[in-house]
Structure 1
Amino acid sequence: MVYLTRRETFNAAHRMYREEWSLEKNIATFGKCANPNWHGHNYSLFVTVKGKISYETGYLIDLKLLKMIIKDHVIEKLDHKNLNLDVSFLAGKMATTELLCVEIFNELKTPIESNEGVFLHSVRLHETENNYAEYFGE
């Protein structure tokens, strides 16, 4: 089994808040992330696939194809968007790095695994250089 990782980046804004809470409670819970004027991040996304190498091509998956899948199913939907307002697969969900990581995994699983012998292993999402979430589909 070989593991192969592709890194992509995107920029997006979001706000952490619950509409049913007061502004004071949101700020007490989420701090600066509850800013009514939003805030943004330069995200780094790491998508790891696994499987057996094709000895005919030498590839697990063509990296150009993996790049296209990630771009079409995730980056185009997230880059320079407001995660709370513009992203259909986050509708009704808190726009945390943890949930975003899970939802990105869900968006990528089927298109990646439609390639014979290729399986989505994990999605790792860096919100900052110090904070990231990783999801293995469990």
Structure 2
Amino acid sequence: MTSIGNKRKTAIVRREHFNAAHRLHNAHWSDEKNQRIFGKCNNPNYHGHNYELEVKIIGYCDTETGYVIDTKIISDIIKKYILNRFDHKNLNLDVPEFANLNPTAENIAMVIYNILVEQIDSELEIKIILYETPRNYVEYPL
């Protein structure tokens, strides 16, 4: 990044969408306890969501470009590392990060963050907002 043009940080947000199935289940619990805790989300045949993902990148605007980061770069990174991996997948079966991690919205957001933080300049901050439904969403990290 070249010199800082704005002494205050700015955030740019890229919104994406993916569809995925999952089952919330703790293998250490009985079927009854899983059903009581996770309800419909414990369906043995899985269930799906239409996830809305917001990736917020926070940093200083570059004096030469005026960008915190080029949105095309963000879009390409999200497509390559998140959408190709998560979209139209069964998270429990198809995504290695969830082999031993319950794919709750909280854990999905954390996994997405951990993947993206490796792809973005370390001078920039990343925040993930993941909508599992229009009424339920998580933010990571706080």
Q: Same fold (TM over 0.5)?
A: yes
Partner of 2:119: 111
Residue 90 (structure 1) shift = 2.1
Equivalent runs, 1:40-119 vs 2, <5 Å: 40-113=48-121, 117=123, 119=124
Partner of 2:4: none
CA distance in 1, matches of 2:16, 2:55: 8
**Number of residues of Structure 1 aligned to a counterpart in Structure 2:** 134
Q: Is the 8 A contact 2:127 2:140 kept in 1?
A: yes
- Runs of 5+ unmatched residues, structure 1: none
Q: Does 1:131 align with 2:129?
A: no
CA distance in 2, matches of 1:90, 1:17: 11
- Runs of 5+ unmatched residues, structure 2: 1-8
Q: Is the 8 A contact 2:35 2:42 kept in 1?
A: yes
Considering only aligned residues, what root-mean-square deviation do their CA atoms show, in Å? 1.3
- The runs of at least 4 aligned residues of structure 1 exceeding 6 Å deviation read none
CA distance in 2, matches of 1:13, 1:6: 23
Give the secondary-structure state (helix, strand or coil) at the position aligned to 1:10: strand
TM-score (norm 1): 0.91
- The Cα offsets for residues 55-77 of structure 1, whole Å up to 9 and x where unpaired, read as 21121111011100111111110
CA distance in 2, matches of 1:20, 1:57: 53
CA distance in 1, matches of 2:98, 2:36: 24
Partner of 1:8: 16
- The Cα offsets for residues 25-50 of structure 1, whole Å up to 9 and x where unpaired, read as 21111100011111000000000011
**Structure 1 vs Structure 2: percent identity of aligned residues?**
47
TM-score (norm 2): 0.89
